[in-house]
Structure 1
Amino acid sequence: MLGLGSRNEFNVEWQTVVITGGSDGMGKAVALQLSAKGANVVVVARTVSKLVTAVEEMKAKAANKFKQRFHYISADLTDPVECERVIAEVTTWNSGAVPDVVWCCAGFSRPGFFIDVPIQEHRQQMDTVYWTAANTAHATLRSWLEPVHPSAQMKTSRRHLIFTCSTLAFVPIAGYSPYSPAKAAIRSLSDTLNQEIEMYNGAYQRHRGAAPAADVKIHTVFPMGILSPGFDNEEKTKPELTKKLEEADKPQTPSEVAKVSISALERGEYLITTNFIGSLMKGTALGASPRNGIVGDTLLSCLSHLVFLQVIPELRSKTFTWGKKNGLPSANGTPAS
């Protein structure tokens, strides 16, 4: 409980890590910090110029500048074929070995009230938030879980698939209707895979017959606001009511979020939050999700439910009062004149 003598459950030294959305924001911060821990890192995004910059910065941060390797791939991860290409290219670059860690950070938020945002943009949010993660996970797990005959099996380190979600998957806020459902879908996918993967892990441990080459662990990170170029763009369309409702959210820097997340992974946590308010939000919605710790998460859940007995009615009341005072919003979410 005090962390004395605990084992590092996420040792990335000399491991090959793929980070989608790795050219900016949280994804780039994760890439830099894992390079400083000795990982070989591949960043994936669309914009080549940003990817080139990220690779140069990773080289400067590397724990061993002469032995670590870095690479970038430009890809549109809303296309599942592109995700298959990314995993294949990384495997070739990695001397025929599949990556050890895949961390899904791609996506963006376009806030707005449900009926004010064109339905095509709702679909785009689902594509760029949920489907980039689901496509990447599908391509990754197909490569990791391919059966290997016992005669060809070699001892391989545990592999990690990490999703990046949002505390909006626990507690939705008015004005995020294009975005929060996609994050909730990622959380549900993560819980399902967390259970499903045990079938493959059981086959791996059995040591008889064909089985995957390594066991796999699933994780999901739930940040709140992150101070990044994406956050700046988000503010441009965010309704004034939404800003009022999330006043308690004090955005963190990408480096802070990455550091807290990596530390939690090293402790072996499954559902990871990056500050105390986020943990309270998680506590309200643990449901059937696996716990990081039975005692700690049970106490957290009890405290969260007591706190949110007041918070949820307050959010609804503030929203009602806002409408009563300001009337219907204009197209950009501000009160109509």
Structure 2
Amino acid sequence: MHPPLPTVFYDSSPTTLGIYTILCGLFLYTASKMFGFSRNRFVVEGRTIVVTGGSEGLGKSVACQLAEKGANIVLVARTTSRLQEAVEAVKGSANYVDRQRFHYISADLTEAAECERVMAEATEWNDGNSPDIVWCCAGYCHPGFFAETSVQTMRDQMDTVYWTAANTAHAILKRWLAPISPSQQRPTPTRHLIFTCSTLAFVPIAGYAPYSPAKAAIRSLSDTLSQELEMYNGSRSSKNRHETPAANVKVHTVFPMGILSPGFDNEQKMKPELTKKLEAADKPQAPREVANIAIKALERGEYMITTMFVGDVMKGAALGPSQRNSFIRDTFLGWFSNLAFIHVSPDLRRQAWYWGVKNGIPSRPIQKSK
């Protein structure tokens, strides 16, 4: 005879039972995060990795940690002097100094032709083989209120955030997806394209109007590619004897919150005080911490990668039709997040309203149209 259920399960309302269900789901979610074991789906030893925005911040930390795991690294950024310093730091992190290789390329990735040049040079340097992994970290944040920001600044944000990533992706995917005959096929590990996005692609915050739309565009591009690439991957089925790409390709996107870096320091100087108030829950992380969390998630094979619990909740509220990392875990996370944002979303607008009541409009006057 089974023991009776606790009285609470008989007397609870549907809302209470729903809360218990969500709490159980969160327990499973946390346990799977802490103790989940699986084979490494992101082996980098001996492989060549291009890291854009690799001269400082997250890009540099990513490159150093991948070098620790035995990867060959190509850093890409605009400023040659910073690239030279970063390459030395990456070399110092190498696990196999005698056989790992390192290179840097100075380029303006807002220009599509420059991205083509970068991939051509990286391929030539890599003994005629395309890079195995490309991680897009280039870009910077220029916060400000929409009406207070020039149209040119907003265009620059789209160029340096979205188009650097889209141009890079286009240049490498044309190489990776080029068809080869069945006779040329060789066993080749999966190739990876990694975008660096932001939790602002999930939840808007006043004061990021020049920046967050570009990050949202990266998320949309990633979701689209996650579908399109399956067509190319499917073509490599053993049943298909047509020309196919040389390897499967997977796309991933990392959604950090604040990252401590020189760029973050500049951002703080420009950021409206209201924005700082609204994002009080964001506790900036060191670049090395973000890189470490992201790489571990890639090793688990995750598609949408967040780097702290607040980011997890933001992702859960905005999953929509995006590919799930785990059906069960993300479903429970979505239930919890949607309940949480019943309060959070109105509260953000309420705080903005009361800020206007107390402080008035921004100190810099808005130019009136004539």
Range into which the TM-score falls when normalised by the shorter chain? over 0.9
Q: Which residue of 1 aligns with 2:347?
A: 314
Query: Deviations for 1:52-76, whole angstroms, at most 9, x for unmatched residues?
Result: 0111111111000010000000000
1:183 and 2:215 matched: yes
1:55 and 2:49 matched: no
Q: Which residue of 1 aligns with 2:297?
A: 264
Letter in 2 for 1:255: R
Partners of 1:3 and 1:244 lie apart in 2 by: 36
1:153 and 2:202 matched: no
Q: 1:39 aligns with which of 68, 71, 77?
A: 71
Superposition map of 1:158-307 within 5 A: 158-206=190-238, 207-307=240-340
| Structure label with greater radius of gyration | 2
Letter in 1 for 2:308: N
1:81 and 2:113 matched: yes
Identical-residue share of aligned pairs (%): 65
Query: CA distance change for structure 1 residues 251 and 210 in 2, over 3 Å: closer, same or farther?
Result: same
Q: Which residue of 1 aligns with 2:97?
A: 65
Report the CA distance between 1:187 and its aligned residue.
Answer: 0.2
1:162 counterpart SS class: strand
2:54 counterpart SS class: coil
Contact preservation (8 Å) 1:113, 1:175: yes
Q: 2:41 aligns with which of 9, 17, 21?
A: 9
Number of residue pairs aligned between Structure 1 and Structure 2: 332
**TM-score normalised to structure 1 length:** 0.97
Query: Deviations for 1:123-176, whole angstroms, at most 9, x for unmatched residues?
Result: 000000000000000001000000001111111110000000000000010000
Partners of 2:236 and 2:74 lie apart in 1 by: 27
1:50 counterpart SS class: helix
Farther-moved stretch of structure 1 (203-212 vs 158-167):
203-212
Letter in 1 for 2:277: K
Q: Which residue of 2 aligns with 1:126?
A: 158
Task: Give the ranges of 4+ consecutive aligned residues of structure 1 lying more than 6 Å apart after TM superposition.
Answer: none
1:23 and 2:55 matched: yes
Query: CA distance change for structure 1 residues 332 and 24 in 2, over 3 Å: closer, same or farther?
Result: farther
Superposition RMSD in Å: 1.1
Q: Which residue of 1 aligns with 2:14?
A: none
Letter in 2 for 1:67: R
Letter in 2 for 1:75: A
Contact preservation (8 Å) 1:239, 1:332: no
Partners of 1:228 and 1:245 lie apart in 2 by: 21
1:219 counterpart SS class: strand
1:205 counterpart SS class: coil
2:195 counterpart SS class: strand
Partners of 2:252 and 2:62 lie apart in 1 by: 15
Query: Deviations for 1:243-267, whole angstroms, at most 9, x for unmatched residues?
Result: 0000110000000000000000000
Partners of 1:47 and 1:332 lie apart in 2 by: 35
Letter in 1 for 2:206: A
Report the CA distance between 1:332 and its aligned residue.
Answer: 9.8
Partners of 2:183 and 2:352 lie apart in 1 by: 63
Query: CA distance change for structure 1 residues 332 and 260 in 2, over 3 Å: closer, same or farther?
Result: farther
Contact preservation (8 Å) 1:237, 1:332: no
Partners of 1:60 and 1:17 lie apart in 2 by: 17
Letter in 1 for 2:136: C
1:115 counterpart SS class: helix
1:137 and 2:169 matched: yes
Partners of 2:253 and 2:265 lie apart in 1 by: 24
The unaligned stretches of length 5 or more in structure 1 are none
Query: CA distance change for structure 1 residues 332 and 299 in 2, over 3 Å: closer, same or farther?
Result: farther
Partners of 1:254 and 1:323 lie apart in 2 by: 34
Partners of 2:53 and 2:77 lie apart in 1 by: 5
The unaligned stretches of length 5 or more in structure 2 are 1-31
Report the CA distance between 1:101 and its aligned residue.
Answer: 0.3
